[in-house]
Amino acid sequence: MSVILFICTGNVCRSPMAAGLMRQRLAQEGLGHHQVASAGVWALDGRPASDHAVTVMAERGIDISEHIAHTVTADDMAEADLVLVMSRDQAQVLRNTWPQYDWKVHRLSEMAGKRQDVSDPYGGSLADYRACADTIERYLNEGWSNILKLL
């Protein structure tokens, strides 16, 4: 079993949505034996997913209403086989903090052959969250084969 860890800043918007979308895709592909987790580089531990993130995922048939924010730890990094971050800055924080795991840290967009950050919708409108989820889903779909290779 492989562990995929999604990282964003506060672990209440992008990474919980990405984890939900990944779980859904893995289940559809019959690959549900992979574990998916999420965390934030500066999360406020214990916070729920943002209301808009919960709504947008529910629109896609994904329930993240039980999500609880979690700050990434050394154990998380050690256990993960693949760490997908939303921004270059997040990758740098992880690489500076845990240089021994540099090889497993990638921006999500890199899986799709791009070099772009996934914009943070925090505090934005429902439309902003939908656009963010669309971007995450596009990168997951376009980068699917690369993700599987790295697992």
Given 14, 107, 117, 132, which residue is catalytic? 14
Per-residue pLDDT tens digits for 61-119: 999 999 999 999 999 999 999 999 999 999 999 999 999 999 999 999 999 999 999 99
> What pLDDT is stored for residue 1 in this prediction?
84
- 14 given a catalytic annotation: yes
- 13 given a catalytic annotation: no
- 25 given a catalytic annotation: no
* Nearest-angstrom CA–CA distance, 130 and 56: 6
Per-residue pLDDT tens digits for 2-36: 999 999 999 999 999 999 999 999 999 999 999 99
What are the boundaries of each domain within the chain?
3-150
Helix ranges (H only) for the chain are 14-28, 51-59, 74-79, 88-97, 108-111, 126-142, 144-150
Give pTM, 2 decimals.
0.97
Adjacent-strand bridge partners of 84: 6, 106
* Nearest-angstrom CA–CA distance, 41 and 38: 10
Q: Which tokens belong to 46?
A: 């214990």
CB 77 within 8 A of CB 44: no
CA torsion through residues 88, 89, 94, 97, sign: positive
Domain 3-150 in CATH 3.90.1150.10: no
Per-residue pLDDT tens digits for 31-64: 999 999 999 999 989 999 999 999 999 999 999 9
Given 81, 95, 120, 128, which residue is catalytic? 120
- DSSP label of 49: P
Q: Which tokens belong to 125?
A: 């409108």
